[in-house]
Amino acid sequence: MMQVQAIVLGNDWVNRRYKHMSVYAPQVAGLCQAGQFFHIRCSDDVTPLLRRPMSIYRYEPERGEVHFLYHVKGQGTQWLAARKPGDAVDLFGPLGRGFWIRPGWRRILVLARGVGLATLAPVARMAQEQGIGTIAVLSARTAEDVLSKDEMERFGARVMVVLDEDGTSEVAAVERLVREVVERERVDALFTCGSRRLTRLLQRVARDTGLPGQVALEENMGCGLGMCFCCVRPFWRGGERVNLRVCADGPVFDLSEVLEA
């Protein structure tokens, strides 16, 4: 990981709440892995003070590009939203432990909602690079809120969309869908991020089917590097309850270890 002054290439709205920012950062673009994040300075001053952790949406090493998809919500992301092409943005990363693929897997299922859709987009790329197929179930409020669909399809994922507006995203319905897909398509592993109820749903499916799973977690962070222990959450590991750092021990964890999803 390293600290770089990335140059903004584009920073455009993809819907009412999310922006897609691409930056030129050739020093770090080749280091990225799906599931990792950058700690981004979102201020010219001391308020807001802390960097913001932001997962990698896309990385293009050959073009020196890193992309982020972010929800414009508070002071920090509003500052970021105001950056224009040519502006510099201070990135520190890539940080944390990303998703992993086991040899012998042939097909994975990803289930995501909200900002988790951005985090899981590069999983399809990672899977395709290793000859593994991806089935993606993307959940959103409305059709307009569905993110990452094109990105996942670009890397060969088969995408299914479930929405609040037509009732298809209701937990029981999604669980039925996921169980059907897992059984029919002989899925080897489950991936999720960004929603507590979907994480719990996938934990149930993993437990009943014996499939391995991974989840990328989000937490407010201080340093992003593992020093401050501010982003700690409880996990079940090695037969005991332990506090692990989301930034340095994750952000991707084994689905079965997550206690407070």
Partner 1 sequence: MSGIDMTVELGGLRLKNPVMPASGTFAEELTHVLDISRFGAVVTKSVTPEARLGNPGPRVAETAAGMINAVGIQSKGADAFLAHTVPFYRRFDVPLIASISAETADQFAALAAKLSVDGVAALEVNISCPNLEDDGRSFAMDPGQTARVLEKIRRVTDLPLFAKLTPNTGDIVAVALAAEQAGADAVVIANTILAMAIDVETRRPKVGNGMGGLSGPAIKPIIVRMVYQAARRLRVPIIGCGGICSAEDAIEYMLAGATAVQVGTYTFLQPAGMLDILAGMEAYALRHGVTRIRDLVGAVEWPTRREQVSTNSSDRLGGGGGIMACGV
User: Residues in the site for partner 1, rule: CB under 8 A?
Assistant: 1-3, 41, 46-51, 92, 219-233, 242-243, 248
Nearer to partner 1 by Cβ, of 44 and 62: the residue is 44
Least distance from partner 1 to the Cβ atom of residue 146, Å: 27
What is the DSSP annotation of 167-183? TTTSHHHHHHHHHHHHH
User: Closest Cα partner for 181 from 210, 158, 148, 200?
Assistant: 158
Taking the C-alpha atoms of residue 252 and residue 96, their distance in angstroms, rounded to an integer, is: 8
Taking the C-alpha atoms of residue 111 and residue 192, their distance in angstroms, rounded to an integer, is: 5
Least distance from partner 1 to the Cβ atom of residue 48, Å: 6
Least distance from partner 1 to the Cβ atom of residue 226, Å: 5
Nearer to partner 1 by Cβ, of 72 and 232: the residue is 232
Taking the C-alpha atoms of residue 72 and residue 76, their distance in angstroms, rounded to an integer, is: 8
Nearer to partner 1 by Cβ, of 177 and 230: the residue is 230
Least distance from partner 1 to the Cβ atom of residue 93, Å: 10
Strand order in the sheet with 158-163: 158-163, 133-140, 107-113, 189-193, 213-216, 252-254
Nearer to partner 1 by Cβ, of 90 and 254: the residue is 90
Nearer to partner 1 by Cβ, of 212 and 222: the residue is 222
Q: Number of C-alpha atoms within 13 angstroms, CB side, residue 18?
A: 20
Taking the C-alpha atoms of residue 191 and residue 143, their distance in angstroms, rounded to an integer, is: 22
Least distance from partner 1 to the Cβ atom of residue 224, Å: 8
